[in-house]
Amino acid sequence: MSTPDRLIEATQELLWERGYVGTSPKAIQQQAGTGQGSMYHHFAGKPDLARAAILRTAAAMRATAEQVLGGRGSAYERISAYVLRERDVLRGCPVGRLTMDPDVIASDELRAPVDETIGWLRGRLAEIVQEGLDRGEFNRTLMPDEIAATVVATVQGGYVLARASGSTAAFDAGVRGLLSLLAPRTGSGSTPSPPWTRH
């Protein structure tokens, strides 16, 4: 892995774990195994490196989501696959956690990729809900944009509740509730268990 890649990867991990303030240049260098000279040779400073890390984290989130949302199956099955996919619930969402970082939100450059990624996810989910409506899968009263916002809010809010309680139970309950509301009326009525709770 190149030095810039090591620095970006280290910053991604530290931003996820510690936030912007806790991600010091020294901590980045130690995590990446590089010196100060290498860091400032490749990046103008901490804000420049943080932006590169956030952009990469956002791109990874999009790719992971699209792999599931762009897969086969009905609209309901793809949304189910997205909310039920295996994830480190107690660690939280690497993009969602940035929205709670005041230093990230205060910076237009750092906030933009976060906002764009969440906006992309809502738009992608709305497209899939519309597909389901067009195929007669869902109740006609559902509004794609509102359902998409609800899916994102359920997942992101579930992370917060899980971290607060130290248990995935709240996340699991929110996902099950969401899927039971979306479930096609012709279905069996049963909602699958999240993969991290299956035995």
153-189 residue pLDDT tens: 999 999 999 999 999 999 999 999 999 999 886 543 4
Domain ranges of the chain: 57-192
The owner of tokens 């480190």 is 88
Residue 68 CA to chain centroid, in angstroms? 13
Q: What Cα–Cα distance (Å) separates residue 9 from each residue in 1, 33, 130, 168?
A: 10, 11, 36, 27
Domain 57-192: which topology? Answer: Tetracycline Repressor; domain 2 (1.10.357)
pLDDT of the residue at 191: 46
How far apart are the C-alpha atoms of 79 and 122, rounded to whole Å? 12
Dihedral over alpha carbons 14, 19, 22, 25 (to 10 degrees)? 50
Instruction: Look at residues 23, 59, 60, 51 and name the one whose alpha carbon lies nearest to residue 109.
Output: 51
pLDDT at 199: 32
What phi, psi does 88 have (nearest 5°)?
-85, 85
Share of the chain above pLDDT 90, in %: 85
If you average pLDDT over residues 61-83, what whole number do you get?
Answer: 96
Q: What is the mean pLDDT of residues 19-25?
A: 92
